[in-house]
């Protein structure tokens, strides 16, 4: 970078282009290159077509963990692949791990210690061949930057990343055709060492000490993996120094959003299902009320007690049972009047006065005094 400053002394214009320069490194770059009269045009660096996801291993055995990755890739290929040219890129932490994964998945591999001929053939075949062997490429961090193939639909990080910026650049190998793709980070939740201690510094961070870089990257990756709202929050905060609270519907959703959406959908389904039960009960009640309103009330209420009732639609006023009940009621009322008498200290049924008072107000034997007159007398008394 310091040698590059000599070129800047030439009397000509320069354009600097980058897709992954964190805002925190911008001032450092300007200072180290002694740039003056610099016009900056900056847009959001977040790739909206990438769905960021994480997955915690279920097993403690290395071979079984690789099988978990294999199963995920198989499911992804069957559901998410868009064309026959779609491929998978897997980043592993070491050469031995690359070989183990590639042998298990029976796929191509790429790392620095391979001969140039083998590496060139591998990359060429990965780009043009439709052989299943080249549908997956297992590699090291050497392909995180500058490797372009338009149809990488899935990027897998296994166990760790060398730096958070490297992880973002490696994830950006996917979806170079601007169509939906996925970046998933497989890790062990009990392993706090998510950044390799032997990591070499990225060219963008050469001015920072390796120890400080490792500690910062470890915190960044841990924050990304432990994020509870949206993965893009940590990415946007690191790259653009913005804490996004509301996300665009154009963004390919991360696993946290999809999980919340799934939970919300299940809750809505449960509520709708409970509403269905209430709706069924409501329909039954409405049907019963309509049946009551369209039938004779006496027959409807007594049909369980009188099995011989003929359920023919008719009004209560014309019901023979109703007429019979009214006649019977009159007989009972008359019987009460003729044979009933008031006990002492009871209440008169007609005027509601105690029998002691009522008996003194009687003008005709065995008949109650007019209640209206009683109330008039009492009102005059209270008015005085």
Phi, psi of 267 (to 5 degrees): -65, -40
Residue 355 near residue 335, CB atoms below 8 Å = no
Residue carrying the six token digits 């390799």: 196
pLDDT of residue 366: 55
Residue 204 near residue 45, CB atoms below 8 Å = no
Distances (CA, A) of 365 to 215, 269, 342, 359: 111, 75, 13, 9
pLDDT of residue 292: 66
Residue 221 near residue 164, CB atoms below 8 Å = yes
Q: Which residues pair with 185 in a beta bridge?
A: 54, 157
Residue 179 near residue 82, CB atoms below 8 Å = yes
β-pairing verdict for 108-110 and 136-139? parallel
pTM attached to this predicted model: 0.63
How do residues 251-302 score in pLDDT, each as one tens digit?
Answer: 788 888 888 877 777 777 777 777 888 888 888 888 877 766 666 766 766 6
In the chain, pLDDT over 90 holds for what percent of residues?
31
The per-residue DSSP string of 139-198 comes to: E-GGGSSS---TTEEEEEEES--S-HHHHHHHHTTTTTTSS-EEEEEEE-TT----S-TT
In whole angstroms, give the CA distance from residue 107 to residue 89: 11
In three-state secondary structure terms, 371 is: helix
In the chain, pLDDT over 70 holds for what percent of residues?
71
How do residues 33-78 score in pLDDT, each as one tens digit?
Answer: 888 788 888 887 778 899 999 999 999 899 999 999 999 999 999 9
Question: Is the pLDDT higher at 214 or at 324?
Answer: 324
Residues 6+ apart with CB under 8 A from 206: 1
pLDDT of residue 257: 83
| 50-253: CATH class | alpha beta
- DSSP character at residue 208: S
Q: Domain locations in the chain?
A: 50-253, 345-384
């Amino acid at each position: 970078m310091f040698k590059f400053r000599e070129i800047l002394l030439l009397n000509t214009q320069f354009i600097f282009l980058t897709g992954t320069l964190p805002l925190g490194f911008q001032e450092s770059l300007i200072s180290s290159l002694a740039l003056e009269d610099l016009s900056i045009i900056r847009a959001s660096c977040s790739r909206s077509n990438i769905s960021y996801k994480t997955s915690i291993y279920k097993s403690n055995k290395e071979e079984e963990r690789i099988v978990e990755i294999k199963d995920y890739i198989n499911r992804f290929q069957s559901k998410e692949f868009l064309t026959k040219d779609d491929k998978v890129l897997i980043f592993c932490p070491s050469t031995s791990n690359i070989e183990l994964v590639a042998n298990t998945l029976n796929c191509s591999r790429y790392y620095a210690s391979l001969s140039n001929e083998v590496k060139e053939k591998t990359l060429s075949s990965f780009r043009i061949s439709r052989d299943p062997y080249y549908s997956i490429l297992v590699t090291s961090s050497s392909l995180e930057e500058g490797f372009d193939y338009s149809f990488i639909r899935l990027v897998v990080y296994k166990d760790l990343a060398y730096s958070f910026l490297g992880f973002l650049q490696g994830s950006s190998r996917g979806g170079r055709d601007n169509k939906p793709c996925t970046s998933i980070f497989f890790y062990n939740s009990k392993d706090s060492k998510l950044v390799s201690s032997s990591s070499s510094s990225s060219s963008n961070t050469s001015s920072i000490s390796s120890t400080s870089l490792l500690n910062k990257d470890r915190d960044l990756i841990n924050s990304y993996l432990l994020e509870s709202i949206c993965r893009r929050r940590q990415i946007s905060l690191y790259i653009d120094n913005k804490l996004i609270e509301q996300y665009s519907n154009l963004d390919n959703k991360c696993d946290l959003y999809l999980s919340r959406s799934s939970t919300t959908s299940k809750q809505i389904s449960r509520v709708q299902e409970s509403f269905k039960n209430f709706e069924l009960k409501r329909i039954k009640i409405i049907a019963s009320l309509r049946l009551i309103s369209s039938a004779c009330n006496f027959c409807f209420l007594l049909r369980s007690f009188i099995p011989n009732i003929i359920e023919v639609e008719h009004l209560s006023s014309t019901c023979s049972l109703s007429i019979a009940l009214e006649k019977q009621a009159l007989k009972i009322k008359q019987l009460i009047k003729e044979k009933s008498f008031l006990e002492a200290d009871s209440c008169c049924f007609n005027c509601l006065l105690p029998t002691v008072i009522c008996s003194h107000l009687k003008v005709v034997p065995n008949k109650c005094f007019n209640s209206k007159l009683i109330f008039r007398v009492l009102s005059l008394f209270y008015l005085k």
